[in-house]
Structure 1
Amino acid sequence: MFKNRLVNIMLIIIISITLIGVVALVLFNYFSSSSEAETEPTIDEIIENSWETEEITTNLNSDNLFRGRFRIHVDTADGAAELEKRDFQINNIIIHELAGMSASDIQSQDGIEELETTLRSDIDDILEDGEVIRVYTTERMIQ
């Protein structure tokens, strides 16, 4: 390749070190990402990073009454603190969402899941700190 044998040896050593470094970097990234897989939060973390609404009573679209509570789980403690400060906005979102629903819409499991998903999306839009992970319906009564 080169006429000087020392240059050939140096070039081989540099290429070898570079290949070893690249292989080590790839292996490190592969093993570190699989070991840091997200785990489900513990119940203590859910309680710490969530906020429960007061009992909400409102009219439904079908001339029925809805009475219920919701627990909103966010990803950070700062988000939970912000939820407490925005309680009036969250109650407003819940009341507006329920006003457009009939009793038959939220009597089924699918209806409750749809309501929770919609609330999650709407509440997430107003939050500045954190992200809503899930909305739980903790109490529900339709009259």
Structure 2
Amino acid sequence: MFKSRMLQWLIMILISITLIALAGFVLWNYLDKQAQGDDPALQAATSVDGVKPKRLTADQIVAQTVEMTDITTNLTGKDFVKISFAFELDSKKSKEEFEKLSTRVKAIIIQTLADMSADQIRGSKGYDLISTSLINKINPILTAGKLRQVDITNINIVLN
């Protein structure tokens, strides 16, 4: 009788340890995926996963690029920014769609910049933050292709 009770306790302890280890593993994977979801650079990388990397000629780049100049908007606080972009798309068809959606794209740009401060957008890290945020927000509205790259061609930050 003593051995059967010990065996029952041993089995219960092993099952408990297994369940705790399984719960820890599931929790670890959940938190890891959640942490990756907060990184705009990682989101941008996954957003352009379907775009095949190929070397484009200068003429092809020009044919697939849309420029938006002199967009002025307020930042958080009293500061504002005047900024220009060059958007490189993956095909001429996606460029045509992008041009048709230009007012929606401008609204996305203004909304994105309105949530940022002057300190956040300064320097190369700030430019990367703007670019990756825009890729993440613009690609879902495109159906004919993908936005490959966002270049900031001019930026003036006015501090008040």
Q: TM-score, normalization: structure 1?
A: 0.71
Distance 1:44 1:63 in 2: 41
Distance 2:80 2:134 in 1: 19
Match status 1:61 vs 2:56:
no
* Larger of the two Rg values belongs to structure: 1
Match status 1:118 vs 2:108:
no
1:54 deviation in Å? 3.1
1:53 deviation in Å? 1.1
Q: Which runs of 5+ in 2 are unaligned?
A: 1-51
1:91 aligned residue: 106
Q: Secondary structure at the match of 2:84?
A: strand
1:62 deviation in Å? 2.7
Contact 1:62 1:101 in 2 (8 A): no
1:39 deviation in Å? 3.2
Match of 1:79 among 70, 94, 101: 94
Identity over the aligned pairs, expressed in percent? 31
Q: TM-score, normalization: structure 2?
A: 0.64
Distance 1:95 1:42 in 2: 31
1:81 deviation in Å? 0.7
2:85 aligned residue: 70
Match status 1:44 vs 2:59:
yes
Aligned length: 107
2:143 aligned residue: 128
**How much is the aligned-residue C-alpha RMSD, in angstroms?**
1.3
Structure 1 runs, 4 residues or longer, greater than 6 Å off: none
For 1:83, the aligned partner's letter is F
**Cα deviation digits, residues 89-129 of structure 1 (max 9, x gap):** 00000000000000011112101101101101111110011
Distance 1:38 1:131 in 2: 12
Q: Secondary structure at the match of 1:105?
A: helix
For 1:114, the aligned partner's letter is L
Distance 2:53 2:126 in 1: 29
